[in-house]
Amino acid sequence: MSEKDVSVKLFENRKIRTAWNDEKEDWYFSIVDVVEVLTESPRPRKYWGDLKNKLLEEGSELSANIGQLKMQSADGKYYLTDVANTKQLLRPLRG
């Protein structure tokens, strides 16, 4: 993915980091950003981490359903970030 394929989408005036995958012709969204918008949690990374652990304990095949991409954080650096496409975000996370 090139830099032109990375952007920020706004949802209710909150930023959601995204990246376009040319090969799969699909957008990928930062799960932490989506969690922050949907839950209004002051600690979305912790919320996502706890949810991820709970889903894994329940037998969810979460790791097979999501990926990681390097996305720019608030400090300007790029870190691996859990991402999901639209279909993955909108379907139940069952095993």
CA distance 22 to 36: 27
Determine the pLDDT at residue 50.
Answer: 95
Determine the pLDDT at residue 62.
Answer: 76
Each residue of 58-91: pLDDT tens digit?
888 776 778 999 999 989 999 999 999 988 887 7
> Do 58 and 17 meet the contact criterion of CB atoms below 8 Å apart?
no
**pLDDT of 55 over the 60 cut:** yes
| Three-state SS at 61 | coil
**pLDDT of 36 over the 90 cut:** yes
CA distance 7 to 15: 10
